[in-house]
Amino acid sequence: MPNPKSNYFQRRTKTQGPRANERIRALDVQVIGSNSNNLGVMPLKKAIEMAKQEDLDLIEISPNANPPVCKIMDIGKYKYDLQKKANQAKKKQKTVSLKEIKLRPGTETHDYNFKIKNAKKFITKGDKVKFTVKFKGREMQHTELGKELMNKIIEETKDIAKVESQPKFEGKQMVMIIQPI
C-alpha cells in the first residue's frame, strides 16, 4: 500500500525556459508571427489558436513588456538557439588569472632574467603578474634595493604591460601587480 504522505515530500522542480502556450499569464499579448512579421496585440486564446493551426507554440519572448511579446515558433528550436547563444558567449569569455613571481633583493641576474622572461610569457597570454620581493632580517634596512628591482621590472615590461598597483609594502615584502596593455 503506497504511503499517503509520499507525494508531500516530493520535490517540485521549477520549469526551465520561457513560458509557452497555456503557461503565459497575460490576457492580451503582442504577437510576432512565424515569419517574423508583427501581427499586433490580440487576446491570448486567439494567439494560441493561431500557433496551433501552424503546429507551433506561442512562446513568451519578452515577459516584462506591456503587453508581453510572444512569438509563434517551435519551443524545441527556441531552447536550442538559446543554448547555442549561451555556449558562444561562454567561448568568447576570457578568464584572467593572477600569476605570482617571487624575488629577493639579492636575486642574481640569471635568475632575474629567467623570471622576467616567464613574466613576459604570462602577460602575452593575457594574465596579470604579481611580483613579490621578500625581505629577511637585515635586508629590511635596504628597502631601496627592492624599489630599484621593481623599477627595473616596470622598465623592462613597459612595452607589453602597465602597472595595476604600484609597489607597496605588505609586512616584510614589497608587492606590485602588472597587467597586459
Q: In this structure, what C-alpha cell is assigned to residue 133?
A: 620581493
Interval 32-87: pLDDT, tens? 998 989 999 999 999 999 999 999 999 999 989 899 999 999 999 999 999 999 99
148 to 41, 57, 144, 157, 174: CA distances (angstroms): 71, 69, 6, 14, 11
Determine contact, residues 56/72, Cβ cutoff 8 Å. yes
Provide the domain limits for residue 112: 98-180
CATH code of residue 55: 3.10.20.80
Interval 82-126: pLDDT, tens? 999 999 988 887 777 899 999 999 889 999 999 999 999 999 998
Let me know whether 111 and 157 are in one domain.
yes
- Preceding peptide of 67 cis, ω within 30°: yes
- Residue 71: the pLDDT is 94
- Residue 163: the pLDDT is 93
Among 30, 49, 83, which residue terminates a domain? 83
From edge to edge, which strands make up the β-sheet containing 28-32?
A: 38-43, 28-32, 69-73, 57-62
